[in-house]
């Protein structure tokens, strides 16, 4: 790990001033991603602004029944919150399927959203990686990419966004609030992350001096009947090969409301708008679920080592919707 | 079955007093308290006030020469004491050629003379070491060493390299070819046959304690705290490489955080820590990062195997062919003897076993739990399952029907032959009779259920072992030997053995281990440590009892006056007549009484030899006896695995939901630790079956998942309750009746899982690991 | 260098630390508390698990400077029947992951006590959780044991929590 200046920020104002003044600064929340990447020499901040004691730790109910979640709420605390468990079970499940008990106690909501994308070659300084060193090439495309993306990739990068929580938030129309010395702005979560295109080193639309202060999850009736399904190689403590966040309401045998988002398959949490379009109003049947999955994955393109994810994603979408239809949500 | 007429028992019979013998009981580990309180110290945890920390720099090319190393930036880092490269490193004596006459000559994991050469032999080889006052400075500076290279072409793609494979000739220690009849012809003529290719990937041990060395020079004397399974190998090898007498080197490894073969050889970290300590004149600690373990310590090599089986319609095997090609590092590593169990396990009329290797420019491979059998059994036992399907015969029946009376390849006798029994026991415990043999016939909701079986087979080795046993006048016993506590419960087992042999309570025995100042213990390998030690401990206890009796026989007042050893038993912390009840008057006397009367503080016996010449001769004599014995007997631990999997019909996710393992491992010394060790092998086998794979990029040979996040060992949630039982009958040909148990239980596990997956899904997966993408 | 006040097992320590020093290295290298183990140094094995204000974390991914003033408990500060249960059930072999397993289990039991759900909890809306073997295994999955002592660990935890098997 390279040396850095350490600044502890007691409040948001101090934090945003510190990152505005220090171009090489990084915010430190739970540390689970940043410290690991600093140790691997992938992240090289010259200043670390510790925000772990900034009081952004509330989970507050909004007047309409939605939630405002402080950016420094720990993943485990959010998952255990009664309102999350009852109104947004998909979010609780997604959080609980991520990492381990220890890491969930450390990881923050804001940090979870901003964790770097996942690729074996991104974290190995000996490999070519356009994300780590723009223009150096991508060793993953001709190498090991079993965990990498099949949607939204480019010839420059096929890394995957590793978050589970963000997939649920994408399905729930969450909005991110970011603050800088220039003020506060709100960004729909589905627009927070960028696709790699020819600038894979840019992963979000945030400016370097912006701090995520909160995430708002709007009230949603359909969210009460929701689930998160994570498919992975181990039974626990593994990244998703494919994950599906879904919510489903059925009236008179037809889909009246539906939300679907995918994880493990794209450089960002992937809201499955196309699947939702096909499903809305359609009979809540296996055939419709399959048609929706086919539609969503129509533009997917895999590599030899991860092509299977396309069919796996289709099947997982179908399986999750079926389970919602048959068993209801996870609450 | 024929009994071997070997005298392995002590001349005084084991006690049969009310409490019964300690051997066999589920005694708590003697190190239980220190390991659950954080007190047990491992190699990187010994404090020295002036300790310096070392970090490695790894090559980023695969093969070639270093053309330049710029250390300026690294050297300038505050706290850096030295940046050691091939340009400034102290000299090490190059490693010699291995010879079977001195097993320690096999110590080095590779032939590379680190930092004494500008040659690079694999991607990740250490090319420099940074020594600094702090961990942080050492690791930060290591990133700043700039190395330039002239790269040479390299062989890094196992699939392509197989074309250059050459046959393994075979020698005393390595199986090459085994043959009986014309197996190819018999296969062609067989009414029913299977002929398939199986592959297994590279794997890494991943002991949770990374390799670590703390090295301290004092003049030409060296002390090393080391994470090792082979103290004596480390001691002798360091002496050779650094040109000091072996007697000047002390190696301490009281507790080792797991090994599984990965800490058997001497690897770069050990040598470089000692080198760095020499270069800086400071005590140096080299605690390898997890990545450094992957890059500098070998793992299990990949294999490609052909297994072909021919059988009559009755299921009797007429042909068994097992051919394996494995990779070896160009700078070290040995053939993976995948056909090892195939020589003996089934009564095939014709047999052909062949091994070949191909050299690759990768970190040299090494032993990993049950080398050969662990992955060889995946191919053999999958093929047997395929044959059972072809024949329409139950896979348990097919196996037991082919249980041989003598080893099919060489006619050797088995010291035990209980395959039928372990399968019968296992089938009953598992409820195998309820199995519908049709694939996809069993389900639980959306999950397909499958049941599979496979045989376990492993031949433990025996090793020379020196111990000292001291019986004090107060009835306490001290056993000393430089053996290894890598988690197997070795100290606990030896305490039990000594307790029974001397007739004292287990808690009267203290065992000191893990220090080369002690009598030379065996290495922890080949499932041989416990049995090898037991033989020596029994012999030492026997001598002590004879000496005690000799003292008593001469004493006028002793009830043992004139008694012979055969009339006595060791019990109640003394020697008592076997023909009288233990409490009877004048039946005998305690050691305390004998020693006090004789004015002796203690009796001590030391088995093995101490001076160098006799040690070498003793080792050669031992090896000769061991190898001669191997010519007479097939002495194997065996087992039967029964596995249930649930496969998600939608996603192909495989989870192991139930396991029954029944083993014949000879006498079990400690029911608790033996059960754990057998379970542990099954857990590791489940990992190999479902997830473990070291990803060597075929373009570079560079390991791309050098960490526990991306190399998937099983987690808690992957492991169901594992039902383990064993026959617990002493093997009459083995020391104290003990066979080894460290390795047998991993053998066959991956096949049992794959066979169960086939039963669940109808999909036969012949390439490990069985990941879900193979089932979609 | 940064001044850090670390409270470990009830004792306050004033340390001058490079801000790069992890909580794990602070414990092991600066305070001599080597009971907390380093297995991967990247949060993937759980050997470094300690309790901070009663919650389990992996000390390797924590910078020591972040944890000033917090109540840190390491294995050296644990005196709990769970430790004897580990010995009875043989919940370890080599012992290297054991400190982390024990600290993790204590944190986990507190989470269950508080009604926190896990990924295998079927009905998230229910405020209490039954400590089944499946719950124990899922919740302990952040602690690898390469010796494979998982059955014994589950037994020890179940026994200590007073749950019938």
Q: CATH number of the domain that C140 lies in?
A: 1.10.150.120
Q: Which tokens go with B681?
A: 């092998």
**B681 interaction partners in chain C (CB closer than 8 Å):** 148
ipTM exceeding 0.95, yes/no: yes
As a whole number, the mean pLDDT across chain B is 94
Is A300:A151 a contact under the CB 8 Å cutoff? Answer: yes
Query: Is B616 within a domain?
Result: no
Residue in B330, B299, B324 with CA at minimum distance from that of residue B696: B299
Whether residue B6 is contained in a domain is answered as: no
The domain that holds C9 is classified in CATH as 3.10.20.30
Question: Does a structural domain hold residue A134?
Answer: no
**End-to-end CA, chain C:** 51
Q: How many domains does chain B have?
A: 3
Are residues C72 and C102 both part of a single domain? no
Put simply, the answer to whether B722 touches C151 (Cβ < 8 Å) is: yes
Percent of chain B with pLDDT over 90: 88
Q: Does some domain include residue A196?
A: no
pLDDT digits (tens, 9 = 90+) for A223-243: 999 999 999 999 999 999 999
Tokens 């499932």 sit at which residue?
B527
Asked if the Cβ–Cβ distance from A89 to C65 is below 8 Å, we say no
Q: Is C61 left (phi over 0), alpha (psi -120 to 50) or beta?
A: alpha
Neighboring chain A residues of B143 at a CB cutoff of 8 Å: 2, 41, 125
Return the pLDDT at B444.
97
Residues 6+ apart with CB under 8 A from A80: A92, C111, C114, C115, C116, C117
Task: Specify the CATH number for the domain of residue A304.
Answer: 3.30.390.50
Give the SS3 label for residue B668: coil
Number of H helices, E strands in chain C: 5, 5
Tally of structural domains, chain A: 2
Which of the residues C15, C25, C43, C62 would you substitute to probe the A interface, choosing the one with the greatest number of A C-beta atoms within 10 Å? Answer: C43
- Name the minimum distance, in Å, from the CA of B45 to any CA of chain A: 22
A48: pLDDT strictly greater than 80 = yes
Q: Which residues of A touch B688 (CB under 8 A)?
A: none
Q: Give the gap in angstroms from C-alpha A72 to the nearest C-alpha of chain C.
A: 14
Name the token pair of B49: 């006030």
User: Is residue B16 included in any domain, yes or no?
Assistant: no
The H helix count followed by the E strand count for chain A is: 12, 12
- CB contact at 8 A, C153 and C91: yes
Question: Which residue of chain B comes nearest to C92, CA vs CA?
Answer: B487
Phi, psi of B151 (to 5 degrees): -85, 145
Is B398 found in the same domain as B368? Answer: yes
Residue B549 is part of which domain span? 465-607
Residues B680 and B702 in one domain: yes
Query: What token pair was written down for B405?
Result: 């009376």
Specify whether C50 is located in the same domain as C97: no
State how far the Cα of C92 lies from the Cα of C105, in Å rounded to an integer.
13
Residues contacting A21, CB < 8 A, separation 6+: none
Residue B623 placed within a domain:
no
Domain boundary residue among C77, C97, C116?
C77
If chain C, 165 residues long, is cut into consecutive pieces of 10 residues, what is the mean pLDDT of each piece? 97 98 98 98 98 98 97 98 98 98 98 98 95 98 98 98 83
How many Å lie between the alpha carbon of A237 and the closest alpha carbon of chain C?
A: 6
Confidence of residue B617 (pLDDT cuts 50, 70, 90): low
Domain count of chain C? 2
- One domain, residues C39 and C86: no
CA pair distance A11, A16, nearest whole angstrom:
9
Quote the tokens at residue B232: 């004596």
Please return the burial class of B512, using the count of CB atoms within 10 Å of its CB with bins 0-12, 13-18 and 19+: middle
Residue B3's pLDDT band, with cuts at 50, 70 and 90, is: very low
Task: Work out the average pLDDT over A92-120.
Answer: 98
Domain stop point among B296, B317, B349:
B296
Please report how many Cα atoms fall inside a 13 Å half-sphere around the Cα of residue B498, on the Cβ side. 35
Q: Looking at C50, C77, C104, which one is the last position of a domain? A: C77
Which residues in chain B have Cβ-Cβ distances shorter than 8 Å to A233? 690-691, 712, 771-772
Residues of A whose CB is below 8 A from C140: 101
Catalytic choice (B336, B373, B589, B743): B743
Does A120 contact B705 at a Cβ distance shorter than 8 Å?
Answer: yes
Q: What is the DSSP string of B539-554?
A: HHHHHHHHHHHHHHHH
For residue B14, the model assigns a pLDDT of: 34
Q: Which residues contact B131 (CB under 8 A, 6 or more apart)?
A: B52, B53, B54, B80, B81, B82, B83, B84, B138, B276, B279, B280, B282, B284
Burial class from Cβ neighbours inside 10 Å (0-12, 13-18, 19+) for residue B628 reads: exposed
Shared domain check, C92 and C149? yes
Interchain contact C154–A (C-beta under 8 A): no
Closest Cα to residue A250, out of A293, A291, A217, A279?
Answer: A279
Query: Do C25 and C58 reside in the same domain of the chain?
Result: yes
Q: Any idea which of B171-180, B196-205, B273-282, B436-445 has the lowest mean pLDDT?
A: B171-180
The pLDDT value recorded for residue B628 is 72
H helix intervals, B462-528: 490-502
Q: Is residue B2 part of a domain?
A: no
Tell whether B656 and B770 lie within a shared domain. yes
Shared domain for B351 and B381, answered yes or no, is yes
Cα atoms in the Cβ-side hemisphere of radius 13 Å centred on B125: 35
Q: For A83-104, how does the pLDDT look when each residue is reduced to its tens digit (9 = 90+)?
A: 999 999 999 999 999 999 999 9
Answer yes or no: do B643 and B758 share one domain: yes
Does some domain include residue A38? yes
Q: Between chains, do A106 and C61 touch, taking CB under 8 Å as contact?
A: yes
Q: Which of C117, C123, C125 faces A96 most closely, judged by CB atoms? A: C117
Does the pLDDT at position B610 exceed 70? no
C 69-98 residues inside an 8 A Cβ radius of A: none
Q: Is residue B502 located within the same domain as residue B546?
A: yes
Pair type for strands B654-664 and B637-648:
antiparallel
B33 within a domain of the structure (yes/no): no
| CATH code for position A12 | 3.30.43
B771 Cβ contact list (under 8 Å, min separation 6):
A233, B690, B691
Same domain flag for C67 and C100: no
Q: Which of A50, A65, A86 is the last residue of a domain?
A: A50
Q: Give the Cα separation of B370 and B368 in Å (integer).
A: 6
For the segment B497-521, what is each residue's pLDDT rounded down to a tens digit?
Answer: 999 999 999 999 999 999 999 999 9
- C109 and C155 housed in the same domain: yes
Please state the rounded mean pLDDT for residues B400-411. 94
How many A×B Cβ pairs under 8 Å?
80
- Does residue A273 sit within a domain? yes
Q: How far apart are CA B388 and CA B394, in angstroms?
A: 6
Q: Checking DSSP bridges between strand B654-664 and strand B166-167, what pairing results, if any?
A: unpaired
CB B323 within 8 A of CB B306: yes
Cα–Cα distance measured from residue B213 to residue B51, given in angstroms and rounded to the nearest whole number = 12
**Would A301 be classed as within a structural domain?**
yes
Rounded to whole angstroms, how far apart are CA atoms B196 and B321? 10
Return the DSSP state at B250.
E
Beta carbons within 8 Å of A310's beta carbon, 6+ residues apart: A150, A297, A300, A302
**Do A92 and C142 count as a contact with CB atoms less than 8 A apart?**
no
Residues C100 and C146 in one domain: yes
If asked whether residues B563 and B433 sit together in one domain, one would say: no
d(CA B344, CA B376): 13
Q: Residue B148: count other Cβ atoms within 10 Å of its Cβ.
A: 11
Task: Give the mean pLDDT of A266-282.
Answer: 98
Q: What is the DSSP letter of A14?
A: H
In a domain, A109, yes or no: no
* B87 flagged as catalytic: no
Tokens of A91: 């979010």
Q: Which of C48, C77, C106 is the last residue of a domain?
A: C77
Which of the four pLDDT bands, split at 50, 70 and 90, describes residue B613? very low
- Structural domain span for residue A275: 223-326
Neighboring chain C residues of B717 at a CB cutoff of 8 Å: 120, 134, 137-138, 141
C76 interface with B at CB cutoff 8 Å: yes
Residue B171 has pLDDT above 90, yes or no: no
CATH of the domain at B457: 3.30.365.10
**Contact between C88 and C102 (Cβ < 8 Å):** no
CB within 8 Å: C42 and B136: no
CA distance B21 to B96: 47
Range with lowest mean pLDDT among B439-453, B603-617, B672-686: B603-617
Structure confidence at residue B574 (pLDDT): 95
Contact criterion met (CB < 8 Å) for C146 and B260: yes
Strands in C2-8's sheet, in edge-to-edge order, are C11-17, C2-8, C71-73, C49-52, C55-58
What number of other Cβ atoms are within 10 A of residue B546's Cβ?
A: 17
C109 in the same domain as C50: no
Residues B411 and B560 reside in one and the same domain: no
Q: What is the 3-state secondary structure (H, E, C) of B624-636?
A: HHHHHHHHHEECC
Distant-in-sequence, close-in-space partners of B503: CB < 8 Å, separation ≥ 6: B15, B17, B569, B570, B571, B572, B573, B574, B575, B576
CATH number at residue B221: 3.90.1170.50
Domain co-membership, B129 together with B229: yes
Based on the domain organization, do C56 and C102 belong to the same domain? no
What pLDDT is attached to residue B4?
35
Based on the domain organization, do C85 and C14 belong to the same domain?
no
Beta strands B722-726 and B654-664, pairing class: parallel
Q: Choose the closest CB to C65 out of A6, A80, A89.
A: A6
Taking an 8 Å cut-off on Cβ atoms, the answer to whether A52 and C137 are in contact is: no
Whether the per-residue pLDDT at B104 is higher than 90: the answer is no
CA B399 to CA A202: how far, in whole Å? 59
- Mean of the pLDDT values across residues A177-199? 98
Phi, psi of B540 (to 5 degrees): -65, -45
With respect to residue A167, please indicate whether it lies within any of the assigned structural domains: no
Using the CB atoms, write b or e for B53-71: b if 16+ within 10 Å: bbbbbbbbbbbbebeebeb
Residue range of the domain that includes C47: 2-77
What's residue B612's pLDDT?
43
Asked whether the predicted pLDDT for residue B219 surpasses 60, the reply is: yes
Same domain, residue pair B678 and B767: yes
In a domain, A218, yes or no: no
Contact assessment for residue B437 and residue B398, using Cβ atoms and an 8 Å cutoff: no
B-chain residues within 8 Å CB-CB of A120?
A: 695, 704-705, 710
């Amino acid at each position: 790990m390279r040396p850095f200046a350490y600044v502890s920020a007691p409040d948001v104002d101090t934090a945003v001033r510190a990152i505005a003044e220090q171009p090489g600064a990084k915010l430190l929340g739970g540390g689970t991603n940043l410290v690991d990447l600093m140790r691997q020499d992938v992240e090289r901040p010259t200043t670390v602004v510790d925000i772990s004691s900034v009081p952004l730790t509330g989970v507050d109910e909004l007047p309409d029944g939605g939630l405002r979640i402080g950016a420094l709420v720990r993943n485990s605390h959010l998952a255990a919150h009664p309102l999350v468990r009852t109104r947004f079970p998909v979010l609780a499940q997604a959080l609980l399927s991520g990492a381990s008990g220890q890491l969930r106690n450390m990881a923050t909501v804001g940090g979870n959203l901003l964790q770097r994308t996942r690729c074996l070659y991104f974290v190995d300084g000996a490999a070519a990686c356009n994300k780590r060193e723009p223009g150096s090439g991508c060793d993953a495309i001709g190498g090991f990419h079993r965990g990498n993306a099949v949607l939204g990739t480019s010839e420059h990068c096929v890394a995957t966004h590793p978050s589970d929580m963000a997939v649920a938030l994408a399905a729930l129309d969450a909005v991110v609030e970011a603050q800088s010395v220039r003020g506060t702005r709100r960004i729909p979560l589905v627009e927070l992350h960028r696709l790699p295109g020819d600038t894979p080193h840019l992963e979000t639309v945030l400016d370097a001096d912006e701090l995520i202060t909160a995430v708002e999850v709007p009230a949603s009736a359909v969210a009460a009947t929701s689930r998160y399904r994570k498919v992975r190689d181990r039974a626990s403590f593994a990244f998703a090969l494919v994950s599906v966040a879904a919510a489903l309401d059925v009236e008179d045998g037809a889909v009246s409301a539906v939300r679907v988002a995918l994880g493990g398959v794209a450089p960002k949490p992937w809201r499955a708008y196309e699947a939702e379009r096909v499903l809305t109003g359609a009979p809540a049947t296996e055939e419709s679920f399959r048609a929706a999955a086919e539609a969503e994955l129509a533009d997917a393109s895999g590599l030899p080592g991860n092509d299977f994810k396309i069919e796996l994603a289709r099947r997982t979408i179908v399986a999750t919707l079926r389970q919602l239809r048959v068993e209801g949500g996870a609450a | 079955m024929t009994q071997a007429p070997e005298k392995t028992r002590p001349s005084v019979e084991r006690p049969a007093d009310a409490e019964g013998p300690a051997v066999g009981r589920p005694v708590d580990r003697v190190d239980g308290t220190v390991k659950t309180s954080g007190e047990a110290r491992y190699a990187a945890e010994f404090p020295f006030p002036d300790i310096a920390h070392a970090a490695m720099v790894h090559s980023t090319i695969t093969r070639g020469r270093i053309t330049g190393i710029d250390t300026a930036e690294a050297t300038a880092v505050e706290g850096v004491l030295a940046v050691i490269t091939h340009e400034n490193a102290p000299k090490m004596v190059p490693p010699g050629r291995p010879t079977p006459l001195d097993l320690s000559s096999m110590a080095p994991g590779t032939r590379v003379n680190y930092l004494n050469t500008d040659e690079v032999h694999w991607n990740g080889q250490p090319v420099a070491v940074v020594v600094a006052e702090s961990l942080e400075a050492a690791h930060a500076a290591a990133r700043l060493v700039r190395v330039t290279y002239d790269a040479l072409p390299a062989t890094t793609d196992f699939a392509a390299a197989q074309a250059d494979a050459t046959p393994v000739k075979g020698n005393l220690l390595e199986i090459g070819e085994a043959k009986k009849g014309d197996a190819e012809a018999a296969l062609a003529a067989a009414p029913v046959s299977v002929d398939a290719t199986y592959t297994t990937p590279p794997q890494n041990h991943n002991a949770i304690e990374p390799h670590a060395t703390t090295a301290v020079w004092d003049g030409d004397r060296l002390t090393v705290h080391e994470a090792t399974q082979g103290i004596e190998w480390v001691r002798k090898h360091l002496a050779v490489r650094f040109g000091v007498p072996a007697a000047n080197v002390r190696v301490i490894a009281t507790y080792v955080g797991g090994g599984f073969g990965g800490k058997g050889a001497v690897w770069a970290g050990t040598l470089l820590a000692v080198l760095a300590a020499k270069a800086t004149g400071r005590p140096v600690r080299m605690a390898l990062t997890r990545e450094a373990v992957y890059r500098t310590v070998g793992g299990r090599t990949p294999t490609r195997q052909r297994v072909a089986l021919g059988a009559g319609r009755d299921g009797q095997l007429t042909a068994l062919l097992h051919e394996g090609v494995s990779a070896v590092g160009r700078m070290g590593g040995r053939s993976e003897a995948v056909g090892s169990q195939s020589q003996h396990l089934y009564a095939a009329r014709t047999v052909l076993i062949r091994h070949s290797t191909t050299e690759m420019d990768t970190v040299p491979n090494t032993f990993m739990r049950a080398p050969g059998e662990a992955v060889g059994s995946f191919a053999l036992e999958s093929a047997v399952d395929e044959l059972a399907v072809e024949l329409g015969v139950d896979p348990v029946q097919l196996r037991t029907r082919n249980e041989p009376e003598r080893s099919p390849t060489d006619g050797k006798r088995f010291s035990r032959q209980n395959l039928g029994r372990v399968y019968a026991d296992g089938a009953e415990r598992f409820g195998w009779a309820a199995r519908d043999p049709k694939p996809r016939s069993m389900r639980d909701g959306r999950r397909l259920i499958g049941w599979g079986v496979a045989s376990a087979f492993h031949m433990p080795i025996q090793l020379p072992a020196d111990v000292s046993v001291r019986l004090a006048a107060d009835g306490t016993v001290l056993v000393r030997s430089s053996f290894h506590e890598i988690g197997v419960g070795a100290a606990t087992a030896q305490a039990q053995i000594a307790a029974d042999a001397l007739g004292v309570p287990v808690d009267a025995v203290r065992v000191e281990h893990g220090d080369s100042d002690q009598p030379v213990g065996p290495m922890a390998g080949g499932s041989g440590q416990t049995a090898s030690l037991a033989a020596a401990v029994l012999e030492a206890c026997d001598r002590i009892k004879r000496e005690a009796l000799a003292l008593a026989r001469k004493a006028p007042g002793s009830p043992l006056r004139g008694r012979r050893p055969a009339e006595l038993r060791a019990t109640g912390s003394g020697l008592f007549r076997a023909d009288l009840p233990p409490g009877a008057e004048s039946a005998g006397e305690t050691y305390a009484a004998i020693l006090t009367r004789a004015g002796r503080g203690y009796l001590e016996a030391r088995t093995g030899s101490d001076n160098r010449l006799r040690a070498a001769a003793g080792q050669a004599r031992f090896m000769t006896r061991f190898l001669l014995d191997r010519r007479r007997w097939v002495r194997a631990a065996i087992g039967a695995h029964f596995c249930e999997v649930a496969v998600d019909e939608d996603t192909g996710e495989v989870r192991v939901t139930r396991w029954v393992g029944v083993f014949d491992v000879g006498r079990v010394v400690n029911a608790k630790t033996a059960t754990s060790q057998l379970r542990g092998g099954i857990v590791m086998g489940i990992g190999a079956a479902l997830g473990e794979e070291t990803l060597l990029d075929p373009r570079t040979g560079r390991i791309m998942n050098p960490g526990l996040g991306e190399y998937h060992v099983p987690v808690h949630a992957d492991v169901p309750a594992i039902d383990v039982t064993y026959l617990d009958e002493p093997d009459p040909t083995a020391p104290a009746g003990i066979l080894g148990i460290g390795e047998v239980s991993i053998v066959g596990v991956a096949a049992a899982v794959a066979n169960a997956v086939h039963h669940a899904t109808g999909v036969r997966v012949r390439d490990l690991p069985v990941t879900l993408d193979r089932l979609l | 260098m940064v001044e850090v006040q670390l409270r470990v097992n009830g004792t306050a320590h004033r340390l001058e630390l490079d801000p790069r020093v992890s909580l794990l290295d602070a414990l092991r290298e600066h305070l001599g508390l080597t009971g907390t183990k380093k297995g991967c140094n990247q949060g993937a094995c759980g050997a470094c698990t300690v309790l901070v204000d009663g919650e389990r974390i992996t000390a390797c991914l924590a910078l020591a400077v972040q944890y000033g003033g917090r109540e840190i408990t390491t294995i050296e500060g644990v005196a709990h029947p769970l430790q004897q249960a580990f010995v009875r059930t043989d919940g370890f072999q080599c012992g290297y992951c054991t400190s982390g397993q024990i600290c993790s289990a204590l944190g986990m039991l507190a989470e269950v006590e508080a009604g926190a759900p896990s990924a295998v909890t079927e009905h998230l809306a229910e405020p209490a959780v039954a400590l089944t073997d499946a719950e124990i295994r899922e919740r302990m999955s952040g602690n690898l044991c390469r010796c494979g002592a998982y059955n014994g660990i589950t037994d020890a935890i179940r026994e200590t929590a007073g749950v019938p098997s």
